[in-house]
Structure 1
């Protein structure tokens, strides 16, 4: 950790908070945030100064937020404002294929490490690059196209603190009945069922926010992270602990672009293609029956 990070008052307050939080029973998230806010207020009265609306994390592990950005000048400032509320050790922003002022906004409004590519890499490749560069123990992945309240990110970090290797966004409450689901949602759920993890439903590394232990990213392989469903299959095959600790609605709030609107759009076809590659990995690992038992035919 850098000397600046060690002397950061937000980090110091978080360390004291975590020390206290370990002495009490786990709190429901609304109660947790209310108690943490009072803790910050008490520290502010004692030390003086303005701390803003800080959020405290139930961990003293180093946390990195990795954000991918492509032409997000209208939203990236709001994304950064929420992340600045957290006691992060690192903020890594991968700007790729941008032709707007995203880079300048990030450079002027944060102390983020900015990785800049003129060509468009896509969110998944950007996340893989950020994961490889990060030094922190917990990696938190977001996109720059819509802000997520800092409070809603805490359960993902907490899941890693509690022993999970990967913490997925539980999008299941937002996808509706099976009859109305799109092809992308269907194939996500099929991959999980093929790996005997039907409890994960349609939850996938393709959706943000999600968190991951740095060691898990290393074991999966950074190149494999660029194909999220394949990375998820590898993680499950290697016995990594995966849960879906919280739900953040990234479906109705997702920014509409020409590439992700309409049936069989370019983004959905790309995601389905990634899942076909993941399915090939499942077939290689499990055989033609995948994880499904042959209950009917007798040989």
Structure 2
């Protein structure tokens, strides 16, 4: 778009142009309006044509024993997408989301249907979203809206101790399993309950206090699809200088370093969103998931593949409550206590010095 005219040093008129504005799908995800080209390939057009072809041959593309239900077009389209995406090179996430949207548009054009706002995932494994809820009437509808955009096999809401309309909103707006406890379960216990109830191969954990864009959840699912047992939220970009970090962040990083995983920084199962294999949850023990850092220590000690999948800002967007405000609040002290419990578990499993060597001290001389 031409903005204005101005005169250069030689007196000639020249035109200044504005770069086209780019719309955003949430923080950190960019929607490209220009042709989606990489290495000379227009991936948007390529994906659109692949969607058309998939729709015309959908009956033969789905193998016998397919997990996609004939009555669930979203899962059917996702399975076709996964099959096609595995046949091409992996794309950067901004490219991926635009290509996936084009694939849906091509598929729905062939079937003469409207183009839904679906978000496709590069996996044909069954996926469960496990959401803990306590007095989230202002946000839970938005959480549900984003989850409906994904080809989920299960949505499990653990509503505990709520005194507002959260339960009614979930029951009326979703096709979900809702477990309702009239009394509070305690911090993170709902995750353990949901993991045990889930039947899916991939478990994705969320809280009901703020929605996460569906696009931002895909990398966590993909990390597990690619072989990671536990895919953590990489909160490191949001922490700032070490000298300004609080006690909670410091103890998270210390636990990871104690387990010889300094690469994880302060990333922890304490922070959502994260995902894991159902099999990993079984190996760790469902009850241990109620104390997230303890579960993480056990997973690392067992040799499970634990890594960071993507970064979702849950720090600046965290809902402020009376129990989590102030430097020494109830929630921060509970989390620090959880990490002390995790360190106790680490000491029991790895020895009194954890991963720290004792090369120069000759202890045997003190025994005489």
Q: How far apart are residue 70 of structure 1 and its match?
A: 0.2
Structure 1 segment 94-243 matched on structure 2, within 5 A: 94-243=158-307
Separation in structure 2 between the aligned mates of residue 50 and residue 168 of structure 1, nearest angstrom: 35
Which structure is larger by alpha-carbon Rg, 1 or 2? 2
Q: How far apart are residue 5 of structure 1 and its match?
A: 4.6
Aligned residue for 2:317, secondary structure, equals coil
Separation in structure 1 between the aligned mates of residue 134 and residue 347 of structure 2, nearest angstrom: 34
Q: How far apart are residue 245 of structure 1 and its match?
A: 1.4
What RMSD, in angstroms, separates the aligned Cα atoms of the two structures? 1.6
Separation in structure 2 between the aligned mates of residue 16 and residue 211 of structure 1, nearest angstrom: 23
Q: How far apart are residue 49 of structure 1 and its match?
A: 2.4
Separation in structure 2 between the aligned mates of residue 122 and residue 156 of structure 1, nearest angstrom: 26
Q: How far apart are residue 51 of structure 1 and its match?
A: 4.2
Unaligned 5+ segments in structure 1 are none
Matched, 1:290 2:315: no
Question: Stretches of 4+ moved more than 6 A in 1?
Answer: none
Judge conservation of contact 1:5–1:89 (CA < 8 Å) in 2: no
Aligned to 2:25: none
Judge conservation of contact 1:166–1:212 (CA < 8 Å) in 2: yes
- The CA deviation string for residues 70-98 of structure 1, in whole angstroms up to 9 with x for no partner, is 00000000001000000000000000000
Unaligned 5+ segments in structure 2 are 1-64, 364-368
Separation in structure 1 between the aligned mates of residue 216 and residue 69 of structure 2, nearest angstrom: 23
Separation in structure 2 between the aligned mates of residue 220 and residue 172 of structure 1, nearest angstrom: 25
Aligned residue for 2:333, secondary structure, equals helix
Of residues 5, 12, 29, the one that matches 2:93 is 29
Q: How far apart are residue 137 of structure 1 and its match?
A: 0.0
Separation in structure 1 between the aligned mates of residue 114 and residue 278 of structure 2, nearest angstrom: 33
Q: How far apart are residue 289 of structure 1 and its match?
A: 1.1
Distance change in 2, residues 1:296/1:172 (3 Å): farther
Q: TM-score, normalised by structure 2?
A: 0.79
| Structure with bigger RCO (C-alpha 8 Å, 6+ apart) | 1
Separation in structure 2 between the aligned mates of residue 114 and residue 48 of structure 1, nearest angstrom: 35
Q: How many aligned positions are there?
A: 299
Q: TM-score, normalised by structure 1?
A: 0.97
